[in-house]
Amino acid sequence: MIEYRNNPNNNIVEISVEGKITEADFDHVIAQLKADIEKHGKLRILEEIRSFTGIDPIALWKDVRFGFAHVNDFTHAAVVADAKWMRTFAEAVSSVLSVEVKAFEASQIEAARTWLMNI
């Protein structure tokens, strides 16, 4: 399941992941992201990974395609997760992409929001 939240007054969006990501979940998020990109241009994103039990293969393929097509539409990403490997992976991606990525533990979600707001 993916939950998507945006604030119409700024370019920050929040995505929360819990459990398995389905193709329908991902299609819904892609539609919302595209609308917010069209409205704001570039986005800042907070991705909160509460739990992750997998992703449908088609959703994974769509995620990769969307990510490559829209990599320049994001300026900053805060990844919030308790799993250390997820935070490490997120920070490693930052060195390869034009997006500045910062990882936070779940208890630091407010710090992640503050970081995105103050950029």
Confidence category of residue 59, pLDDT binned at 50, 70, 90: very high
Nearest to 40 by CA among 68, 3, 66, 13: 13
CATH code of the region 2-117: 3.30.750
Give the Cα separation of 106 and 62 in Å (integer).
27
Q: Which pLDDT band, with edges at 50, 70 and 90, does 111 fall under?
A: very high
Average pLDDT over the chain, rounded to an integer: 92
Q: Which residues is 4 bridged to in the sheet?
A: 15
pLDDT of residue 40: 95
| 111 Cβ contact partners less than 8 Å away, ≥ 6 residues apart | 104
What was the pLDDT predicted at 1? Answer: 92
CA distance 84 to 104: 9
Confidence of residue 19 (pLDDT cuts 50, 70, 90): very high
pLDDT of residue 87: 86
